[in-house]
């Protein structure tokens, strides 16, 4: 399926799939969206020195890159579920490190996209990435996580990933007091999370998005 790199309103890239009518990030600003939802509302709310993160939808690798940039001295174990990985050519064309004014991160970003799948790989001394080529339906977690970045395509494109069954799987694999963040705040998604056991809060969204959801396992 054809993919196109496009420029979003904050100058950072995202990828569009015209045939599906979807983009990997908000056209209002890819970096500002990911920072707002997954770093500010998610990662920065975690206070432990070692954090296990699960990302549903590795995509462009932007969420992983921003997490590495924010990690400082924290030890990050990052598991990413993805069935349609980018080519090396697509990944190297993305301008995230340039827009962040952090050229020193480029080598880590490229390593994220070129490293082996199905095994933990040390991207830096404090960031380990484990990419898994499976659908969320197939995924069977063998560990528990502190934080879930739920960044699948929108329910209109992938309704099968926004069900009570999927959120129950996310609930089970989270530690107590762990949290799940997502950009989607639709009523049926929120109700599916609640039915799966989560305590769900609406939070202010990034530009172009009124609300996001934070779901906590209490």
**Residue 196 in contact with residue 170, Cβ under 8 Å?**
yes
pLDDT digits (tens, 9 = 90+) for 161-211: 999 999 999 999 999 999 999 999 999 999 999 999 999 999 999 999 999
Residue pLDDT, tens place only, 122-146: 999 999 999 999 999 999 998 999 9
Q: What is the pTM of this model?
A: 0.96
Domains of the chain by residue range = 34-216
Tens digit of pLDDT for each residue in 28-45?
999 999 999 999 999 999
What is residue 107's predicted lDDT score, i.e. its pLDDT?
97
CATH superfamily of this structure's domain 34-216: Vaccinia Virus protein VP39 (3.40.50.150)
pLDDT of amino acid 142: 87
């Amino acid at each position: 399926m054809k993919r196109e790199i496009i420029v979003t309103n904050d100058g950072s890239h995202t990828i569009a799939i015209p045939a599906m009518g979807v983009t990997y990030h908000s056209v209002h600003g890819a970096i500002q969206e990911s920072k707002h939802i997954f770093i500010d509302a998610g990662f920065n709310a975690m206070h432990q020195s070692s954090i296990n993160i699960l990302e549903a939808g590795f995509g462009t690798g932007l969420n992983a890159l921003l997490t590495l940039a924010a990690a400082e001295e924290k030890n990050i174990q990052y598991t990413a579920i993805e069935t349609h990985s980018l080519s090396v050519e697509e990944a190297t064309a993305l301008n995230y490190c340039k827009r962040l004014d952090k050229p020193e991160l480029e080598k880590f970003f490229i390593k994220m996209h070129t490293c082996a799948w199905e095994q933990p790989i040390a991207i830096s001394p404090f960031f380990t990435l484990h990419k898994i080529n499976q659908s969320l339906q197939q995924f069977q977690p063998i560990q528990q996580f502190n934080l879930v970045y739920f960044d699948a395509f929108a329910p209109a494109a992938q309704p099968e990933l926004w069900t009570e069954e999927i959120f129950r799987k996310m609930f089970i694999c989270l530690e107590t007091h762990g949290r799940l963040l997502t950009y989607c705040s639709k009523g049926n998604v929120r109700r599916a999370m609640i039915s799966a056991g989560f305590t769900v809060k609406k939070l202010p969204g990034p530009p172009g998005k009124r609300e996001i959801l934070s779901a906590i396992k209490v």
